[in-house]
Each structure stands twice: as C-alpha cells, then as structure tokens.
A = this chain, B = another copy of it.
Amino acid sequence: MTAAHVLATYDIATHLPPPEAAEILAGEQSTGTFVRVPGESARLRERFGARVIEVTELPDDGLPPLPGAAGPPSGATTVPHRARVRIAFPLHNFGPSLPNLLAAVAGNLFELRELAAVRLVDLDLPSAFARRYPGPAFGVAGTRHLVGRPDGTLIGTIVKPGIGLDPDALRTLVRELARAGIDFIKDDELTANPPHAPLRDRVAVVTEELDKAARRTGRRTMYAFNITDDIDRLAAHHDLVRDAGGTCVMVCVQTVGPAGVAHLRRRSTLPIHGHRAMSGALLRSPQIGLGPVVFQKLARLVGVDQLHVGGVASKFYESDADVAASVRAVRTPLFDGYETLPVLSSGQHPGLAHRTYRLLGTTDLLVLAGGGIHAHPDGPADGVAAMRSAWHAAVTGESLDRRAARDRPLARALERFGA
C-alpha cells in the first residue's frame, strides 16, 4: 500500500482456488475483460492492473452460494473455499473521486459467477481523498460545543410518533423536552418535507421553542431537521434551517447517496446528522454488499458529523458485539482525524445505560431514546431526567438499583422499560 494505491479487503467464497478467484476479481475491476483484447499489453497491465496483495483462507461458514455462482469442478468437494483477499488498486485508475472509486472497488465484482459470496469489508484510502473530501466540519468537539456539553454522554430523542404530529403537538413536545435540558432532538427519518408537515413549518415552530427554552435554561438544544430530499433541494432546505437559527441538519446517507451528502457538505455550515436508513440492504447479509467499516468510512469521508451505528439490545439485527465494533470503528481516526460522533438508537432506554457503558467504555456518544423518553409514565421531561441519571450512575460506578432507590424518574422508567 502506497500513497498511490487504494487497498480494498474482501471476504469471498469460491469454488476456484482462492488466489485464482482473487485474480479474476482484480482483472475484472481493472484491465481485463472475458477475453484478452488487442492493446492489453504487459506494460498496460503493469501500470493499471489491480494487484492481489494477500489471500488468507477463512473457515467454512456453511452458507449456500449466492445465485449464479459457478459450482465445483466435477468430482470436487461441494463446499466453497472462503478467503479474505486484499487487492491494491492504482489510484490513477480513477483519481480521488468517490463515485469512480466505488465503480472500481465495489462495481461489477458483486456479479461475478466465480464468486459464491463477496463482501467489501474494508477500504484504505490514500490522502488524495482527504484533499478532495474534507470530512466532518464539526464532529465530536463541534457538536459538544454547540450543545454546550463539553463532556458526558449526550442525551437525545427522536420525535415520536415519527409521522403525523401536527405543528401544535410538535411545539408542545419540543418545549417540554428543551426545558427538561435534553441535548438533542431529531426528526424521524420518515418525516422530511411531507405535505402534511412541511419542513418550513416545522423549522418555524421548533426554532421558536428552542429559542424560548434557551432564554430560560441558558443552553440550546440541538435539533436535527430531516432535510433529506432531491439533491436540488438540499441546499435550500439547509439554508432554511440555518436562517432560522437551527444548528443541525439530518440526511439519510443511503437514500441521497454518499455523493449527495458530499454535495451537501460543500454547501453546509451546520453539523450533518447521518441517518442510516436503507443501509441494512447493503450491510446485513454476510455474503454480499459492504461491511459496516466501509459504510462508516464513506459516511465520514463525505462529511457526516454524527453517524448512526445501531444500539445496544436494539430492535434491529445487530448484536451488542456488532454495535461495539461499529463504535470502535467510527472512533478510529481516518486520515488522522475525521472525528464523527457515534449515535446509538433503536429501542434505547435508561435501563440500558450501564450495559452500554460497560460495552463501549466511552461517553463520546449521542444516545437517542425515542419511545424510551416519550413513553415515560410521567412524561418526556422525566424521561430525559431518567436517561441522564442512569448515564451518570453508569459512569460513576453506581448500580442502577441503588440509583433508582433515590431517583423517582429513573425508578419509574425502569418499571416501564425494564433494566
């Protein structure tokens, strides 16, 4: 790996000897086609060919081959080989352009018959990409600064119900949460600019309430307005939020596309909250698509300041170990920086604080409890208090039971959501 190469790591399954399958992958994604053609000289292959750097056999995972995979040679074993393969792509094949990088390292290769499974699990990018894509403008420190919370876990919520709250109900909810000192509120990923609740109206109502609460409490809650939409509308939505004094915009990274986020980043003066809706389509299968490390590197590259990584004991498919690995990955420097704040969500509540802190060992987190705050038996303000109290206990080493014995909002939350 040099400054002039991209290093891509794949987990593959194949009935060919893995080094041979790796060469086919490298050829397909650089100088080859299905037959040798005139002009594919040794010199051209030397200069532009992707090179197989490493092939490490992996144990069988027992999974059946993807559709269309070439079977074993007749008489051979029917279990495909599995291997981790590292391939170096010359940067000059595509230059530091994210869409063209993806066409090379994540393009036609997913379709190759020779591969019974193929997943891009890591991507090491040379610094030319950092020069093209400046990454998060705010990240962990910038988010903390805007929220006025220099340390401790940031506590947030999602507007619930995610769809259909009218402006008056939204106003009441935001008022109560902001007065309760919550750090962060976000729109649901399902509500961006729908006809029944236009972004413009939500921005007006929410910023007015946040201003009022800030005058009372001295702190301003960050609200991530979901500006996801056609790319031609992102800048105007962003400006609407900024001009009203909003301090954060949210986009669904997959539905606008990483290239769409990069477009927004060039125009944005606010933190970008990156939701991962639709990413499961690429990330969940162990046999195809992308690994979570790749997804978060792409999101950070294009400028996401706060990135969803699932949640402990969540309603989604990831195990706690998966979530811990994602948080570690997001907190690992990219180009010596590109610090993005990991966002935990999905089924989060006060009873999970200790388990989460034990697992992750950091408070550089934004923990979003939707139902876990709104459905508190005594209302959202007590929901916020319970979340903060549980996290304080977790970090100071006080048990949940002991803390709950002297903290009624927490005790009531544990009754409702369990511990």
User: Which A residues lie at the B interface, using CB under 8 A?
Assistant: 29-40, 44, 47-48, 62-64, 66-69, 92-95, 97-100, 102-104, 106-113, 132, 158, 160-165, 169, 173, 189-190, 192-196, 228-232, 252, 254-260, 262-263, 266, 275, 277-282, 284-290, 310, 315-319, 322, 346-347, 370-372, 374-375, 379, 417
Find out whether the CB atom of B278 lies under 8 angstroms from the CB atom of A94. no
Please, how many angstroms separate the alpha-carbon atoms of A87 and B194 in the complex?
Answer: 19
Please, how many angstroms separate the alpha-carbon atoms of A361 and B369 in the complex?
Answer: 56
Find out whether the CB atom of B315 lies under 8 angstroms from the CB atom of A113. yes
Please, how many angstroms separate the alpha-carbon atoms of A30 and B374 in the complex?
Answer: 17
Please, how many angstroms separate the alpha-carbon atoms of A280 and B106 in the complex?
Answer: 9
Q: Which of B93, B232, B286 contacts A266 (CB 8 A)?
A: B232
Q: Can you list 14 A-B contacts (CB < 8 A)?
A: A31-B161, A32-B161, A33-B158, A37-B160, A37-B375, A92-B194, A93-B163, A94-B194, A102-B252, A110-B281, A112-B315, A113-B315, A232-B263, A257-B259
Find out whether the CB atom of A93 lies under 8 angstroms from the CB atom of B190. yes
Please, how many angstroms separate the alpha-carbon atoms of A110 and B310 in the complex?
Answer: 13
Find out whether the CB atom of B257 lies under 8 angstroms from the CB atom of A161. no
Please, how many angstroms separate the alpha-carbon atoms of A94 and B196 in the complex?
Answer: 9
Known A-B contacts A38-B375, A231-B263; the reply to A163 vs B31 at CB < 8 A is yes
Known A-B contacts A47-B164, A193-B100; the reply to A231 vs B255 at CB < 8 A is no
Find out whether the CB atom of B112 lies under 8 angstroms from the CB atom of A165. no
Known A-B contacts A95-B193, A262-B231, A316-B111; the reply to A164 vs B48 at CB < 8 A is yes
Output the nearest chain B residue to A115 by Cβ-Cβ distance: B317
Find out whether the CB atom of A37 lies under 8 angstroms from the CB atom of B255. no
Known A-B contacts A255-B102, A287-B285, A375-B37; the reply to A97 vs B161 at CB < 8 A is no
Shortest Cβ gap from A44 to chain B (Å): 5
Find out whether the CB atom of B33 lies under 8 angstroms from the CB atom of A371. yes
Output the nearest chain B residue to A100 by Cβ-Cβ distance: B192
How many copies the complex holds: the figure is 2
Please, how many angstroms separate the alpha-carbon atoms of A30 and B64 in the complex?
Answer: 34
Chain B residues whose CB sits within 8 angstroms of the CB of A319 once the complex forms: 68
Interface centre among A30, A103, A289 (most CB of B within 10 A): A103
Chain B residues whose CB sits within 8 angstroms of the CB of A263 once the complex forms: 230-232
Find out whether the CB atom of B277 lies under 8 angstroms from the CB atom of A288. no
Q: Which of B161, B228, B266 contacts A37 (CB 8 A)?
A: B161
Shortest Cβ gap from A268 to chain B (Å): 13
Find out whether the CB atom of A375 lies under 8 angstroms from the CB atom of B36. yes
Find out whether the CB atom of A34 lies under 8 angstroms from the CB atom of B315. yes
Shortest Cβ gap from A226 to chain B (Å): 9
Find out whether the CB atom of B193 lies under 8 angstroms from the CB atom of A228. no
Known A-B contacts A107-B190, A190-B29, A228-B100; the reply to A281 vs B282 at CB < 8 A is yes
Chain B residues whose CB sits within 8 angstroms of the CB of A44 once the complex forms: 161, 163-164
Please, how many angstroms separate the alpha-carbon atoms of A280 and B290 in the complex?
Answer: 11
Taking A99-B229, A281-B290 as known contacts, 19 extra A-B pairs with beta carbons closer than 8 A to each other, sorted by chain A number, are A31-B161, A33-B160, A35-B371, A36-B375, A37-B371, A38-B379, A62-B64, A66-B284, A67-B286, A98-B255, A100-B193, A100-B228, A102-B254, A108-B277, A111-B317, A112-B316, A230-B263, A257-B257, A282-B289
